[in-house]
């Protein structure tokens, strides 16, 4: 067998290595040049650069500082107003000067002063995150909850001039005022309901007052909230009929309360320590999907008690159902005498988005013969 010289073998090995390296380099170039067949993640979009500030916007902060030094000089205030009107989106630093303007132009000195007008025009242009007028309304809702006296007219002025901050201001009105007013067993601090009545019309005009929460608050508060009642009555209720529940839970044989026969009955007892009593009571009639409207109730019972509606609300408004992950309010919709005769409870405003009706008997030996819920699906 012929053997190759060692030198020849080494040369062949070097040539093979060189060929391998050349092959890798050439094929890497081809792979890079060829379009990839596998999908590649798109490059993240480049955030748009903030728009360049105009000359008037850049000079606005300095222009607003001048009236703070000389608030009684009409020419200085007019020059600042001119700069502001030429800057539709003031920079945050300019918006942060609004509280100082408010301190120099208190509402008690008049709402029509030039400096107060400058403050209003500034709020109408500032974004919600730096809107002093909207922040004033939100803070007032918290202060009302702890009983602090407030100037409702001044807060109405702030809400009317909140501009881009109006949604956040109205959200505070709903979450901290209107929703608590729609809940049973909640005693509102003295100043909350007048403040809610004073601010709700402005939120209602721009569609920021949830109809479900508004109607529930009207039903719960009744004649104590005439301004809210006037807002809720702008929508006329449609045709109604007796609505059978999709599911009944709680008392044994609970379906007998909805069988159309007042001769049968369901034993309902007061049991506040029961699990989910605050939401379900002794008997809960559920509807899925929630009812579009509920206008009245008719029932026959032995022993007094109350009915509450479970009204679904926007997330964060009212109580939270941890099991369903939804928010709701629970206004009292009927207080029945329970003398064994038919009773009717007409609502002062038609409820919307009603998930359930709960029965809360006042005695341990209560009986519910029949319950009719009138509304529309």
- Check which CATH number belongs to the domain holding 371 and give it: 2.60.120.260
Q: According to the model, what pLDDT value does residue 93 have? A: 94
The mean per-residue pLDDT over the stretch 355-364 comes to 95
Do residues 195 and 213 both lie within one domain? yes
Which of 180, 205, 232 is at the close of a domain?
A: 232
Q: What is the pLDDT of residues 221-230, one digit of tens each?
A: 999 999 999 9
Do residues 93 and 217 both lie within one domain? yes
Asked whether the predicted pLDDT for residue 141 surpasses 80, the reply is yes
Do residues 197 and 278 both lie within one domain? no
Do residues 288 and 224 both lie within one domain? no
Select the more confidently predicted residue: 299 or 240: 299
Do residues 196 and 260 both lie within one domain? no
Q: What is the pLDDT of residues 54-95, one digit of tens each?
A: 777 988 999 999 999 998 899 999 999 999 999 999 999 999
Q: Around 376, how many Cα atoms within 13 Å sit in the side-chain half-sphere?
A: 10
C-alpha 253/C-alpha 32 separation (Å) is 74
Q: Around 320, how many Cα atoms within 13 Å sit in the side-chain half-sphere?
A: 5
Q: At 207, is the secondary structure helix, strand, or coil?
A: coil
pTM of the shown model: 0.82
Q: According to the model, what pLDDT value does residue 271 have? A: 73
Which of 232, 266, 299 is at the close of a domain?
A: 232
Do residues 251 and 143 both lie within one domain? no
Q: Does residue 30 lie within any of the structural domains?
A: no
* Residue 359 contacts residue 281 (beta carbons within 8 Å): yes
Do residues 207 and 103 both lie within one domain? yes
Do residues 307 and 211 both lie within one domain? no
Q: Does residue 77 lie within any of the structural domains?
A: yes
**% residues pLDDT > 70 (the chain):** 84
Q: Does residue 179 lie within any of the structural domains?
A: yes
Asked whether the predicted pLDDT for residue 234 surpasses 90, the reply is no
C-alpha 375/C-alpha 377 separation (Å) is 7
Q: Does residue 33 lie within any of the structural domains?
A: no
Q: According to the model, what pLDDT value does residue 238 have? A: 73
Q: Does residue 184 lie within any of the structural domains?
A: yes
Q: What is the pLDDT of residues 296-306, one digit of tens each?
A: 999 999 999 99
Do residues 73 and 150 both lie within one domain? yes
Domain that holds residue 91: 57-232
Task: Name the pLDDT band for 99 (thresholds 50, 70, 90).
Answer: very high
Q: According to the model, what pLDDT value does residue 273 have? A: 67
Give the residue ranges of DSSP H helices in 96-254: 98-104, 114-123, 132-145, 152-160, 166-173, 179-181, 192-205, 211-221, 226-232
Do residues 180 and 281 both lie within one domain? no
C-alpha 94/C-alpha 88 separation (Å) is 12
Q: Does residue 213 lie within any of the structural domains?
A: yes
Do residues 218 and 280 both lie within one domain? no
Task: Name the pLDDT band for 49 (thresholds 50, 70, 90).
Answer: very low
The mean per-residue pLDDT over the stretch 14-27 comes to 59
Task: Name the pLDDT band for 45 (thresholds 50, 70, 90).
Answer: low
Count of domains observed in the chain: 2
Q: Mind giving me the DSSP string for 279-307?
A: HHBTEEEEEEEEESEEEEEEEEEES-EEE
Q: At 248, is the secondary structure helix, strand, or coil?
A: strand
Q: What is the pLDDT of residues 254-303, one digit of tens each?
A: 899 999 999 999 999 887 767 778 778 999 999 999 999 999 999 999 99
Q: According to the model, what pLDDT value does residue 1 have? A: 47
Mean of per-residue pLDDT scores for the chain: 88
Sequence-ordered list of residues with C-beta below 8 angstroms from that of 79, at least 6 positions apart, any chain: 63, 66
Q: Does residue 92 lie within any of the structural domains?
A: yes
Do residues 298 and 333 both lie within one domain? yes
C-alpha 236/C-alpha 208 separation (Å) is 19
Q: Does residue 45 lie within any of the structural domains?
A: no
Q: According to the model, what pLDDT value does residue 38 have? A: 47
The mean per-residue pLDDT over the stretch 10-23 comes to 60
Which of 211, 232, 253 is at the close of a domain?
A: 232
Report the 10 Å Cβ neighbour count for 372: 18
Sequence-ordered list of residues with C-beta below 8 angstroms from that of 96, at least 6 positions apart, any chain: 130
Q: What is the pLDDT of residues 157-202, one digit of tens each?
A: 999 999 999 999 999 999 999 999 999 989 999 999 999 999 999 9
């Amino acid at each position: 067998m012929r053997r190759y010289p060692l030198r020849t073998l080494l040369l062949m090995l070097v040539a093979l290595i060189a060929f391998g390296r050349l092959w890798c380099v050439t094929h890497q170039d081809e792979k890079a040049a060829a379009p990839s067949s596998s999908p590649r993640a798109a490059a993240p979009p480049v955030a748009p650069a903030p728009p360049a500030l105009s000359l008037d916007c850049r000079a606005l902060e300095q222009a607003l500082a001048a009236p703070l030094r000389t608030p009684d000089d009409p020419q200085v205030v007019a020059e600042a107003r001119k700069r502001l009107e030429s800057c539709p989106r003031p920079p945050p630093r300019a918006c942060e000067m609004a509280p100082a303007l408010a301190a120099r132009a208190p509402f008690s000195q008049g709402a029509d002063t030039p400096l107060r007008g400058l403050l209003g025009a500034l709020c109408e242009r500032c974004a919600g995150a730096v809107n002093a007028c909207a922040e004033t309304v939100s803070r007032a809702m918290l202060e009302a909850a702890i009983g602090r006296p407030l100037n409702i007219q001044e807060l109405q002025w702030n809400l009317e001039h909140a501009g881009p901050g109006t949604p956040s201001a109205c959200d505070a009105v709903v979450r901290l005022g209107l929703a608590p007013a729609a809940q049973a067993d909640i005693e509102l601090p003295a100043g909350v309901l007048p403040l809610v009545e004073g601010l709700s019309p402005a939120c209602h005009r721009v569609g920021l007052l949830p109809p479900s929460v508004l109607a529930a608050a009207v039903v719960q508060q009744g004649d104590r909230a005439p301004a809210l009642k006037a807002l809720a009555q702008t929508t006329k209720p449609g045709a109604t009929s007796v609505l059978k529940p999709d599911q009944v839970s709680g008392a044994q044989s609970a379906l007998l309360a909805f069988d159309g026969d007042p001769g049968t009955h369901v034993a309902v007892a007061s049991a506040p320590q029961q699990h989910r009593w605050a939401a379900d009571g002794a008997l809960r009639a559920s509807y899925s999907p929630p009812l579009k409207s509920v206008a009245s109730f008719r029932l026959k019972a032995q022993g007094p008690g109350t009915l509450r509606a479970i009204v679904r609300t926007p997330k964060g408004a009212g109580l939270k159902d941890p099991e369903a992950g939804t928010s709701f309010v629970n206004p009292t919709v009927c207080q029945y005498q329970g003398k064994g005769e038919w009773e009717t409870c007409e609502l002062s405003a038609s409820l919307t988005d009603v998930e359930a009706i709960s029965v809360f008997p006042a005695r341990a030996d209560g009986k519910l013969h029949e319950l009719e819920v009138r509304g529309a699906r």
